[in-house]
Amino acid sequence: MKTNRLAVALSVALLSFAPAFAAAPDDSGAATKPAASAALSATQLVQKLMKPQSSLTRGRVTVNGKAIDYQAEAGTLVLDGTGVNESVPELAIGYTAYFRQGAAPASRPITFIYNGGPGSATMWLHMGSFGPKRVVTNDDTHTPAAPYQIVENEYSLLDASDLVFIDMPGTGFGRLLPQGADEKARAASQKELAKKYWGVDQDAQAFARFITQFLSTHNRWNSPKYLFGESYGTPRSAVLANALTTQYNVELNGVILLSSILNFSLSVDGADNNPGVDLPYVVGLPTYAATAWYHHKLPKYANATVEAVVDDAIKFARGDLQQALLAGGTLDPAQKQEVAQKLSDLIGLPVPYLLKANLRVDGGMFEQQLLNDTDTTAGRLDSRFTGPSIDPLAKSRGYDPQSAALGPAYVAALNSYMHNDLKFGDGWVYRPSARVAPNFSWDYNRAPSRGQGGGSRTMALNVLPDLARAMKFNSNLKILLLGGYYDIATPFYTAIYELDHLPIQDSLRKNISYKMYPSGHMVYAHLPSLQKMHGDLAQFIESTSQAPR
């Protein structure tokens, strides 16, 4: 296996849960704006972003029957270069922060929130989870086209913490800031900045610098501090927690991992790129079982709960299935037939298909085959969603119905909300994904000198050592893992398995807790799960913070 092949496959197929929706227009195109405003060209936007930008507004949201007055700050924060470029602006990072009015700012909890990709802006968590506004979307079917409804978010986390939604470098209203006297020089500068900020360690350092600068400019150093990452945001959180703790002397109260993957070699997507490593099929099985149950493909479990199905799937996966896969080509044919039948009972695929697949079904195969009798594909990010198959005869699914169902609503809602409510970004283009930016590619190679995982071109990304190191440096650091039963992109049991195998002392394991919900990758897209997750998070922050709320 080569790192580049698996890492690229995973970044495109596993974790890029935002950006496959619609290509954002080039910076020279017009943004959503009042008719009187003129769009900024790419050069004009970069020049404007050389200095921090911000817009302050006020609002009110009601959570659990109590009105919360808040101040919103939408803006960009500028990071200068290092070394010889110490005074040269290199990066403008976009963010939106919400501060509860009337609370003591120096001691109130503050949570830094970001999505994944790598390459995704943070409009998903911003407009779907804990901000004061959210976009209304259908639960498990395609949301109709605009106009979309933006409503007060009764599940905002502002009752428990101030919130800072951060767009990763090169996304949202932020940009790399290339320098140069002419187009050729600026293009060369853009290429160098892309190398400097788009990679595992580079990205974590940019976030660490953003957070420490934000703490200083807003006088929040004494606040209880939390990281909240989703999808690729979870490996970012592991590397970032390590950097903040060991390099910047910033101790965190908690790290919240939503739809987590910390060891890419365990991904059930792309598992066929790593023959001989069968563990992804084991830890991904409980999500397959939950999905098949949801779509009424398990006659033996017709009257069971999803929790009961998942429990049986975990027992089978860790027992008979794992032993069968471990045997490889030496597996007795009769035993293989027996395991295939049990597997069929749990995931709803026919026994002949499972035998042809040699008991190894990756995520794309399962999504394509589960509902193939109706020419329908199951969702990857949220397998409750379905859509017409691109090619019913294909081996693997051709797209993700959940992405297609929700993406346009979030893009439109974020642009409308930022321009009309927060009064920010008029004439700019909000970039949902860095994948449309010049020179975007992700550097998965690690610098092993700080105790990070990886550090080798022959290994898939594994940030478990980063998180373990942060927990050892800060023995009070609490970890909360959140996940959805119907998430095939980052299966919930894979995440549990990873934390169960975190290289830490037994005395630190009490610092880890888990909460799972009947939803998918974007747990918050299912309102009952969002409501429950809000309560779990508020309790987690309260229990890990000594500051008054």
Q: What is the pLDDT of residues 287-321, one digit of tens each?
A: 999 999 999 999 999 999 999 999 999 999 999 99
pLDDT above 50 for 34: no
According to DSSP, the β-strands at 254-258 and 478-484 are parallel
Tokens of 439: 């020179």
The pLDDT tens digits for 176-210 are 998 888 889 889 989 999 999 999 999 999 999 99
The pLDDT value given to residue 27: 38
Residue 531's nearest CA partner among 111, 66, 110, 130 is 130
DSSP 167: P
Rounded to whole angstroms, how far apart are CA atoms 416 and 423? 10
pLDDT in tens, 57-81: 999 999 999 999 999 999 999 998 8
pLDDT at 32: 38
Does pTM top 0.85 for this prediction? Answer: yes
Q: Residue 113: its pLDDT value, please? A: 98
* Among 494, 12, 496, 8, CA closest to 279: 494
For residue 26, pLDDT beyond 50: no
Query: What's residue 448's pLDDT?
Result: 64
How far is residue 404's CA from residue 92's CA, in Å, rounded to a whole number? 30
The pLDDT confidence band at residue 145, using thresholds 50, 70 and 90, is confident
What is the reported pLDDT for 83? 64
Average pLDDT of the chain to the nearest whole number: 88
Mean pLDDT of 432-457: 74
Structure tokens at 407: 């993406």
Q: Facing residues of 230 across strands?
A: 258
How far apart are the C-alpha atoms of 383 and 402, rounded to whole Å? 8
Residue 109 corresponds to which tokens in the numbers above? 């909890």
Of residues 182, 181, 199, 203, the one with CA closest to residue 79: 203
Would the CA dihedral through 205, 520, 478, 471 be positive or negative? Answer: negative
- Average pLDDT on 525-535 reads 96
Per-residue pLDDT averaged across 464-472, rounded?
97
The mean pLDDT value for 153-170 works out to: 97
Give per-residue pLDDT as tens, 41-57: 777 788 888 899 999 99
Q: Quick one: pLDDT band at residue 106, thresholds 50, 70, 90?
A: confident
Could you tell me the pLDDT band of residue 28, with boundaries at 50, 70 and 90?
Answer: very low
Residue 350: CB atoms within 10 A of its CB come to 12
Q: What is the pLDDT of residue 21?
A: 28
Q: Over range 223-248, report the average pLDDT.
A: 97
On the question of pLDDT at 419 being above 80, the answer is yes
Q: Which of residues 433 and 18 earns the better pLDDT score?
A: 433
pLDDT at 37: 58
What was the pLDDT predicted at 405?
A: 64
> For residue 515, what are the β-bridge partners?
482
Q: How far is residue 338 from each of residues 280, 312, 330, 335, measured CA to CA in Å?
A: 21, 16, 15, 5
What tokens appear for 76 in the block?
Answer: 């960009």
Residue-wise pLDDT tens digits, 261-282: 999 999 999 888 888 999 999 9
Rounded Cα distance, 20 and 22, in Å? 6
Geometric angle at alpha carbon 485, from 515 and 11, rounded to 5°: 100
pLDDT the model gives residue 278: 96
Phi, psi of 431 (to 5 degrees): -95, 110
Instruction: Say what percent of the chain tops pLDDT 90.
Output: 71
Which domains, and CATH codes, for the chain? Answer: 3-265+405-544 (3.40.50.1820), 272-402 (no CATH)
The DSSP code sequence of 422-454 is S---TT---BSBGGGSTT---B----GGGS-S-
CB 237, CB 438: distance < 8 Å: no
Are 153 and 132 in contact by the 8 Å Cβ rule? The answer is: yes
CA–CA separation, 506 and 545 (whole Å): 23
